[in-house]
Amino acid sequence: MISPRIHSEYARVFLGLKNAGIAWCVLRPLDDLPEIEKDLDLLVDPDARAVVHGLLAGLGYHVYLPERANPGKTAFVRWTGERAVYLDVHFEIIARGFVYHDADGTLARREQRGDLFHPAPADLYVVTLLHDVLGKERVQAKYHESLRALVVTFDGSPAQTEVRALGDLVPSDAEALERLLGSSLGAADSGAPDSGDVEVQDLAERMRRRLAGKKRFRRWWWRVRLRFRRPLRGFSIAFLGPDGAGKSTTMAAFQELVEGELRWPVATEYMGPWGHDHLGFTTRVRCRVPDTFGELRAARRERIAGGFRPSLRRAFALEWQRRRRELSKDEEQERLHQRETSWMWICFRFVRGHVRYGVFLSALWVELWWRHLKVRRRARRAAVICDRYVFDLLTGEMHEMTRRYHWARRLFCALFPKPNVTVYLFEEPEVLCARKDDLDLATMREMQILYESMMARWDFSPVRTNVPPPEVARRVLDETFSCLVARRR
């Protein structure tokens, strides 16, 4: 049984490690954990890597940063539905790739206080101090009192002999520690960026040089390879839905949630097929392609009934007469009707519509690929929210339904790259029409049917927007969290 002073999220992890017989300890001077920390550092038996991964996966944790980015350490994260829980699991006592203390010796000397295992006082002093010096190049003020109490246990302890090659660089008495803490506080009070001071930075550089030893070239090559062979650390999520479904408010709430709770940067990019041109030419080409065969049948019926045969040549000749003002208004309307029902004129409109739509799709392909390249570039450093996507092309143009060229628009959507996750925001058509007065109920119902057919084909994640936007954003994160973390690795 875990004490109620330990948060239930951490209690599940500690109980699982205990039942699995895995040695562990908390690498920070914490007596209890009543609240979720920004991140919790645990040292775990290095021989139990596979067991720990399986245990945390069973508890709902996902690997956020694998060991290839920082050997000896794996970062896990879990979304509880309200906030994110981060666990930094150390299999080596490491900071920025430098192993500065012995993990096996620290676990062998660990002490239990209440429900938590801690390193021995001398080990805890080394871990707390060097984690800040090597990892942050400053000593955090919240650990000053703990370090002052622990420094007296360091001199002559086993930890002093196991601190790798840093024995004389680690402050071993209260006076040397106080000088280091005083310089760090002075830098923090001066308002310097990152509150890092020259003395601590110089000490960190000397420690790194000594820890690197003869492996400097190997470490340099490892960093270069990691920099240029790093996987895509980004994520793109597209929000679809008819007007009135709450896309704008949901995207704003989702961005605030990810940046606030997950502490990940978020960018927004418009990926819809209408407007927002980036290349200097418009892609909004209206292609009202007539129903050619229907118009030909209607012209044939009218020709048989009226006893005349419309001629395109004659229609143009009469158009010239109209421009010379040789026709009355009634004659002009009659001749214009003959022109509109001419077979040649209908075929001309048919060819013109095909050409215009081909130009439209070509321009749209170039424009959307340009936006897609921008999304890929921005996704290397942030999660990208896509406002609409190319799938909206299947519903027509903006608020208007279009049934022409369905095969061309469907082929366009099939060939274009897909986002990592597509979220379909929906609500009852009557509610959407109440939110947007300019929408037609029949059109909204038809759009909903089209979106549902796309959802079955392209695996959309449906989310209903019948609750406030922050709650909708949490529903979206619940649906997409595992994919988001996998793409962030």
CATH of the domain at 70: 3.30.460
| Rounded distance between C-alpha atoms, residue 479 and residue 471, angstroms | 13
Residue 299 lies in a domain: no
Residue 462's pLDDT is 92
Range of the domain at 145: 8-228
Q: What is the mean pLDDT of the chain?
A: 79
Q: 3-state SS of 268-304?
A: EEECCCCCCCCCCCCCCCCCCCCCHHHHHHHHHHHHH
Residues 401 and 450 in one domain: yes
pLDDT digits (tens, 9 = 90+) for 65-124: 888 767 788 999 999 888 899 999 999 998 877 888 889 999 999 998 888 899 999 999
Higher pLDDT among residues 291 and 411, named by residue: 411
Residues 178 and 255 in one domain: no
Residues 188 and 219 in one domain: yes
**Cα→Cα distances 152→24, 112, 149, 158, 171, Å:** 25, 20, 7, 13, 11
What is the β-pairing status of strands 383-387 and 266-270? parallel
- Using CA of residue 339, residue 341, residue 343, residue 346, what is the dihedral sign? positive
Predicted model pTM: 0.74
Backbone angles phi, psi at 365, to 5 degrees: -60, -45
Residues 266 and 209 in one domain: no
Strand partners, 237: 385, 421
**Cα→Cα distances 281→89, 363, 367, 397, Å:** 52, 8, 9, 18
**Cα→Cα distances 4→33, 77, 78, 228, Å:** 9, 22, 21, 46
Domain CATH number, residue 261? 3.40.50.300
| Of the candidates 439, 358, 346, 347, the residue with the CA atom closest to the CA atom of residue 404 | 358
Residue 21 lies in a domain: yes
pLDDT band at 58 (very low <50, low <70, confident <90, very high): very high
**Residue 451 burial (10 A CB sphere; 0-12, 13-18, 19+):** buried
Strand order from edge to edge, sheet including 383-387: 266-270, 383-387, 235-240, 421-426, 461-464
Residues 258 and 391 in one domain: yes
Residue 218 lies in a domain: yes
Residue 345 lies in a domain: no
- Annotate 42-57 with DSSP letters as a single string: EEE-GGGHHHHHHHHH
pLDDT digits (tens, 9 = 90+) for 316-375: 565 555 555 555 666 656 665 655 556 666 677 677 777 777 877 888 888 889 889 988
pLDDT digits (tens, 9 = 90+) for 251-294: 999 999 999 888 888 999 999 887 666 555 544 444 444 444 45
Average pLDDT of the segment spanning 441-469: 88
Read off the tokens for 347.
Answer: 């075929």
228, 258, 273 - which closes a domain: 228
Residue 393's pLDDT is 85
pLDDT band at 31 (very low <50, low <70, confident <90, very high): confident
pLDDT digits (tens, 9 = 90+) for 159-169: 888 776 777 78
Residue 357's pLDDT is 77
Contacts of 348 (CB under 8 A, 6+ apart): none
Residues 243 and 216 in one domain: no
**Cα→Cα distances 25→74, 163, 305, 372, 477, Å:** 15, 18, 95, 46, 31
State in Å, rounded, how far the first CA of the chain is from the last one: 34
Residues 193 and 251 in one domain: no
**Cα→Cα distances 70→138, 223, 227, 482, Å:** 20, 10, 12, 21
CB 264 within 8 A of CB 450: no
Residue 103 lies in a domain: yes
228, 244, 269 - which closes a domain: 228
Residues 253 and 394 in one domain: yes
Report which secondary-structure segment, H or E, holds 422: strand 421-426
Residue 340 lies in a domain: no
Strand partners, 118: 111
Range of lowest pLDDT (44-48, 196-200, 208-212, 321-325): 321-325
Residues 148 and 57 in one domain: yes
Q: Measured at the alpha carbon of residue 47, what is the angle toward residues 42 and 51, in degrees to the nearest 5?
A: 75
Report residue 447 CA to chain centroid gap: 28
Residues 450 and 377 in one domain: yes
How many distinct structural domains can be found in the chain?
2
| Rounded distance between C-alpha atoms, residue 9 and residue 189, angstroms | 36
What is the β-pairing status of strands 383-387 and 235-240? parallel
Residues 129 and 247 in one domain: no
